Chains A and B, each alone.
Chain A
Amino acid sequence: MFCEKAIELIRELQRMSDGQLPAFNEDGLRQILQEMESLYEQNQSDVNEAKSDGRAELIPSIKLRHCCLLRNQRCVAAYLYDRLLRIRALRWEYGSVLPANVRFHMCAEEWFSQYKKSLASFMRSLGADGLDITQDMKPPKSLYIEVRCLKDHGEFEIDDGTVILLKKNSQHFLPRWKCEQLIRQGVLEHVMS
């Protein structure tokens, strides 16, 4: 049946509903584009025949193929755009530099780097030196927080100049605003007692 491959692509994304990004289904996309090409060619020849020989009974099948073409286009656009939205969410979650395993599935490097640039120039334009609005995702509850280090991260300098060594499983009492990004990256864990 026509358009089945397109629906399959959409289902693939729907299965991973928590925003994860599956590998780019290059094969699936290629099959859909091939199906579209063959549908279009069939339609072209039927249209010519209908016009020249006056065969009006071809018109319903021309209409059907055209609907399938539109449906395929819509599904493909939806698939690609949904992936872009997930990639965008990654920028807000992880920051400018994505971890390697995530980047591997992306296949939208150009879009991502352009999006980063747009976002960065917007943030730079706020106020005198710019404001990073990807920080401060939650309302601040307290000034300092207790954090536990989940992996070795090396040395970490806080505002007054003290250097803290972040070793795995060490616990520290650090200013909240310095830790936020490391918490999001999974290096530190907020300990709520």
Chain B
Amino acid sequence: MEQLTHMEANLQRVKKGDAKASMHRMEIDRIRFVLSSYLRSRLQKIERFFPHILEREKSRGEGDPSLLSPEEFAFAKEYHANTETYLKAVALKRMPPNLQTVDMLKAVPEPCLDSFVFLRVKERQENILIEPETDDQREYVVDMEEGSQHLMRYRTIAPLVSSGAVQLI
């Protein structure tokens, strides 16, 4: 963001029609696109899984860093409250007394943590336990070399993604 404002300020100073201005402008556009796209994806994920995200925030331990920025957290809470208010006002309050709430955690689908993802290993990992998927399989361990690429279930490597040891592709 700071880079964007810095570049826009630079652009004002460069003479109009100078070739450098177009380069600058393109670079600004590209940066702005990547930034916007990243923030949009995050917002869309928040909207899609809001009850589960809010639940995880609530049950987060003292020392664990939040996955959301304070503004994202505020957005998630507002979205939750807004949707609940709407559903209550339009339909739920006109329903029989024992059905006037909807359990959002059950109503909204959970993110599928078992989907397969591609990853690249940045730090060598040893003894990663792979859980069996079906009853015939048994659990086994793999070692992951630095720089190697793998395809496996997200759930298995989720903690490694947060620590930065692997990178999703």
Contact = CB atoms under 8 A, between A and B. Distances in A.
Interface of A: 29, 33, 36-37, 40, 69-70, 73-74, 76-77, 80-81, 84, 88, 108, 110-111, 114-115, 117-119, 121-122, 125-129, 131-133, 135-136, 138-140, 143, 160, 175-177
B37 interface: yes
Nearest to A108: B86
Contacts of B99: 36, 69-70, 73
Contact of B39 (A81, A117, A121, A133): A133
Given A37-B96, A128-B1, A139-B33, 7 more contacts: A76-B95, A77-B92, A111-B82, A128-B5, A135-B32, A136-B33, A140-B30
A133 B26 contact: no
Nearest to B72: A122
Task: In the A-B complex, list the 10 residue pairs whose CB atoms are closest, starting with the nearest.
Answer: A127-B1, A40-B96, A140-B29, A118-B78, A133-B36, A111-B86, A125-B71, A136-B36, A136-B33, A114-B82
Contacts of B22: 143
Interface residues of B, number: 40
Interface of B: 1-2, 4-5, 16, 22, 25-26, 29-30, 32-33, 35-37, 39-40, 43, 47, 71-72, 74-75, 78-79, 82-83, 85-87, 89-92, 94-96, 99, 102, 107
Contact of A127 (B5, B16, B37): B5
B86 A36 contact: no
A115 B71 contact: no
* A-side interface mostly: helix
Contact of B87 (A81, A143, A175): A81
Contacts, number: 109
Given A127-B2, A160-B16, A33 B36 contact: no
B86 A126 contact: no
A133 B96 CA distance: 42
Given A73-B99, A77-B107, A136-B33, A131 B82 contact: no
